[in-house]
Amino acid sequence: MSAPEEPAPYGGGTPAPPAGPAAPAAPAAKRVRTHHLRELKERGERFSMLTAYDQYTAGIFDEAGIEVLLVGDSASNNVYGNETSLPVTVEELLPLTRAVSRSVRRALVVGDLPFGSYQASPEQAYLTAVRFMKEGGAHCVKLEGGVEMAPQIEKLTRGGIPVMAHIGFTPQSEHTLGGYRVQGRGETAERVLADARAVQDAGAFAVVMEMVPGDVAAQVTRELVIPTIGIGAGAGCDGQVLVWQDAFGLRTGRMPRFVRQYADLHGTLLQAARDYDADVKAGTFPAEEHTF
Ligand SMILES: Nc1nc(=O)c2c([nH]1)NC[C@@H]1CN(c3ccc(C(=O)N[C@@H](CCC(=O)O)C(=O)O)cc3)CN21
Ligand SMILES: CC(C)C(=O)C(=O)O
Ligand SMILES: [Mg+2]
């Protein structure tokens, strides 16, 4: 489950075949690159994005045809057990980013810059983003903020690092925004529009819109030439993103309203663990065939 470290150019060479005889010729994977998302938008085609934080989930989502995998700073609360995304560090996210980027054949891998690692200055943002590209193997990075992050987005883009912006509700600013709240209702819609225009003008190749009223998100999507990716922003966006533990039911408890649950992995794993436990305690596992 490993991909070549240097991605082949789009539609270009076949990845080096695995060593050894009888390895079936793997079909050349057409890697999703930033400009392909824009081409999809121009053709009126939607695309999907999920978070991923490890090898197996990244490989499965890639195989399923999910175009974009985000190694989210949401690893803070979905991997590391924190309550919010604020505490997670660059040092904690880099190994997860590396695991994901090594495990995809096709998907675009986005490294999510954590709180405090880019806001101080464009230079800080650039140095952090370079680590996600070099050490994490990310193909691009995401950062939160609109008008106020334009200098960071310009610096990274000019330095060869594609940037996905993130506007609307930006979880790293929950203490400034006053909690988990929809952004852009009523007259604050203008703020969302201004942020969207600013990140596009600064060079972002796409923009996530989180918890924005559907009509506002649809208007932004019509107005921008870069693709919009919604989470709690309605079906008018060019793409959609969800945290995979929410979408596939690994996590339980109160869900944001924007989540649809596609599987019950919590239930599946709970039952499997109980079955294993019962077999061990009954002495029925291991059986003869598991014994040397
Ligand atoms: N598991 C998980 N899922 C996420 O979607 C997610 C994370 N973690 N961590 C980082 C951020 C935080 N996000 C969140 C967290 C909570 C709500 C939430 O509670 N929303 C409520 C209130 C909305 C309102 O009242 O305006 C909802 O019902 O949607 C939304 C987004 C999105 N991200
Ligand atoms: C919710 C998505 C967009 C995100 O930023 C994350 O998972 O960290
Ligand atoms: Mg994030």
pLDDT tens for each residue of 124-160: 999 999 999 999 999 999 999 999 999 999 999 999 9
Distance (Å, whole) CA 220 – CA 213: 11
Model confidence band, residue 2 (pLDDT cutoffs 50, 70, 90): very low
List residues, by chain if needed, whose CB lies under 5 Å from ion ligand 3.
72-73, 112
For ligand 1, pick from 51, 74, 142 the residue to mutate: most ligand atoms within 8 Å of CB.
74
Specify whether 210 is catalytic: yes
Q: Which residues of 271-280 are buried (b: 16+ CB within 10 A; e: fewer)?
A: eeeeeeeeee
Model confidence band, residue 73 (pLDDT cutoffs 50, 70, 90): very high
For ligand 1, pick from 73, 180, 229, 246 the residue to mutate: most ligand atoms within 8 Å of CB.
180
**Which residues in the chain belong to E strands, given as ranges?**
47-51, 68-71, 108-112, 140-144, 163-168, 206-210, 228-231, 239-242
Supply 217's token pair.
């998100």
For the chain, the structural domain boundaries read: 34-261, 265-292
Q: How confident is the model over 235-262, as a mean pLDDT? A: 97
Beta bridge partners of 70: 51, 110
CATH entry, 34-261, from 3.90.226.10, 3.30.70.2740, 3.60.15.10, 3.20.20.60 = 3.20.20.60
Q: Quick one: which of 45, 71, 41 has its CA closest to 58? A: 71
CA angle 147, 72, 206 (to 5 degrees): 45
